[in-house]
Amino acid sequence: MKGIIFTEFLDIVEDSFGLEVCQEMLELANDDGVYTAVGSYDHNDLVKLIISLGKVTGISTETLQEIYGEAVFPRLYRTLPKLDKFQQDTFSFIKSVEEHIHTEVKKLYPDATPPHFDFLSETKSHMLMDYKSARCMSHVCKGLIKGCAKHFHQNVQITMEPINKKQSHVRFSIDLIME
Ligand code: HEM
């Protein structure tokens, strides 16, 4: 998994929970915390860090993944070149993640395996899509979608339905809430 995912994770943990919690988490995970944005690391090390953070803070790993996803969105967004006119709201942005952004990530870094999205149906206010990934990080995905909606100043309600037990396949139902 790309180093930027790890460096941003450590940064977000420090920002949200403080340096001490961050250090306790690293100690518990037996991790030296040395990551560079351009490196590539074992995805299981991130899972270990999230589990340790859960133990240190008493917060569920699902909630922690969501907090991380939401906080990492603007940081990933900033790494993108200028966006085109098709990326003006939450739904069009999510589609461009599947069609362009993650595709570019895979081209740039052949060892990266971002998730795959299948779009099942869409109206102006509703999107039904499947998340598929051997990484089983659907809660990070939920957080990223929340971060994306926040960026576009939209309110969303997200419901997740696991399609298999290990949650490598999860159905997302996203509703835009109009004020
Ligand atoms: C709504 C927006 C987005 C969603 C829902 C999304 C979803 C995800 C999820 C859930 C993961 C974790 C791995 C997995 O579950 O398989 C991931 C990984 C990743 N995403 Fe995205 N993403 C979004 C936007 C972006 C943006 C804007 C970038 C900018 C470059 C990006 C680049 C990456 C990279 C580099 C990885 C790590 C892949 C690897 O190393 O294997 N994503 N994405």
Supply the pTM of this predicted model.
0.96
pLDDT < 70 stretches in the chain: 83-86
In order of their start, the domains of the chain are: 3-59 (no CATH), 82-177 (3.90.1520.10)
Which is it for strands 169-177 and 126-132: parallel, antiparallel or unpaired? antiparallel
pLDDT at 88: 86
pLDDT at 11: 97
pLDDT at 82: 75
Pocket lining: 105 vs ligand 1, CB cutoff 6 Å:
yes
Q: Measured on CA atoms in the order 26, 24, 53, 66, is the torsion positive or negative?
A: negative
Q: Separation of 72 CA from ligand 1 center, angstroms?
A: 10
Q: What is the pLDDT of residues 39-73, one digit of tens each?
A: 999 999 999 999 999 999 999 999 999 999 999 99
Cα separation values, 17 from 58, 88, 167, 172, Å: 12, 32, 28, 29
pLDDT at 36: 96
Pocket lining: 72 vs ligand 1, CB cutoff 6 Å:
no
pLDDT at 81: 82
DSSP 12-38: HHHHHH-HHHHHHHHHHTT------TT
Distance CA 62, CA 49 (A): 13
pLDDT at 86: 58
Pocket lining: 83 vs ligand 1, CB cutoff 6 Å:
no
